[in-house]
């Protein structure tokens, strides 16, 4: 087993809301997205607050690749943005993501930190808000499923205004997410959920799922 840095060492006292974009277009992409959401739910000091529906989206970039499955998760976390990013990259690696330098090529799983509270971060390896999110319908449409009315993307505009400017063709709502991977993960872990929170679809709940 490879040792991953333990993100709990990099936790804040204050909980922040973060939105994470998920995308996949290889090797049963829907399963990759749903399992990744379950893994986000189990990050330390983190609670999964809401998940969007799944969307089938036409690829941005080279057209000779399969359609993507996209979704957005809203989490409440005490991790720092850097610790959260490291944890997200560890999830990508577990899903067989290989960064081989091919720009905009197909991938088993892509996790993007879209926003983190109202922060604007520009450091090597991490730019928040995600620098392209405001022009991508495959991000904004699922984000609208889980964002409160009036959400503003720091440094940009309100989500509704951004949505009004992007063409939505090529973004088809599929179904609600199947979060059985979350229940399976809970069932196989005798310690129970690290996040301790619910995986409510589109809403914040209070009952732990397991």
Nearer of residues 61 and 202 to ligand ROI, judged by Cβ: 61
- Asked if residue 104 binds ligand ROI (CB under 6 A), the reply is yes
CA distance 139 to 71: 7
CA distance 31 to 85: 21
- Asked if residue 70 binds ligand ROI (CB under 6 A), the reply is yes
Cβ 128 vs Cβ 110: under 8 Å: no
Cβ 72 vs Cβ 139: under 8 Å: yes
Q: Which of residues 131-160 bind ligand ROI (CB under 6 A)?
A: 138
- Asked if residue 19 binds ligand ROI (CB under 6 A), the reply is no
105 closest CA partner among 63, 146, 167, 48: 63
The stretch near ligand ROI (CB under 6 A) out of 27-35, 54-62, 154-162, 192-200 is 54-62
Active site residue 99: no
Nearest distance from C-beta of residue 67 to ligand ROI, angstroms: 7
E strand map for 38-191: 46-51, 54-57, 68-79, 110-116, 121-123, 126-128, 171-175
Catalytic one among 56, 74, 78, 110?
Answer: 110
Active site residue 27: no
State the catalytic residues. Answer: 97, 107, 110, 112
Which residues form the interface with ligand ROI (CB under 6 A)? Answer: 23, 57-61, 68, 70, 104, 110, 138
């Amino acid at each position: 087993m490879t040792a991953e840095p333990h993100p709990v060492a990099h936790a804040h006292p204050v909980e922040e809301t973060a939105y994470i974009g998920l995308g996949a277009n290889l090797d049963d992409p829907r399963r990759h997205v749903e399992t990744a959401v379950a893994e986000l739910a189990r990050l330390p000091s983190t609670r999964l607050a809401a998940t969007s529906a799944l969307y089938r989206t036409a690829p941005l970039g080279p057209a000779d690749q399969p359609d993507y499955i996209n979704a957005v998760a809203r989490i409440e976390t005490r991790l720092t943005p850097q610790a959260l990013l490291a944890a997200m990259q560890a999830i990508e690696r577990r899903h067989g993501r290989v960064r081989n330098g091919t720009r905009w090529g197909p991938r088993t799983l892509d996790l993007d930190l879209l926003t983190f509270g109202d922060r604007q971060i520009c450091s090597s390896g991490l730019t928040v808000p995600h620098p392209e999110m405001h022009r991508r319908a495959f991000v904004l449409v699922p984000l609208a499923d889980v964002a409160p009315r009036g959400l503003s993307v720091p440094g940009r505009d309100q989500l509704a205004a951004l949505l009004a400017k992007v063409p939505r063709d090529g973004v088809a709502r599929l179904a609600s997410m199947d979060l059985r991977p979350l229940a399976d993960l809970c069932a196989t872990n005798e310690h129970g959920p690290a996040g301790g929170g619910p995986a409510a679809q589109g809403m914040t709940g209070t009952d732990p799922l397991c």
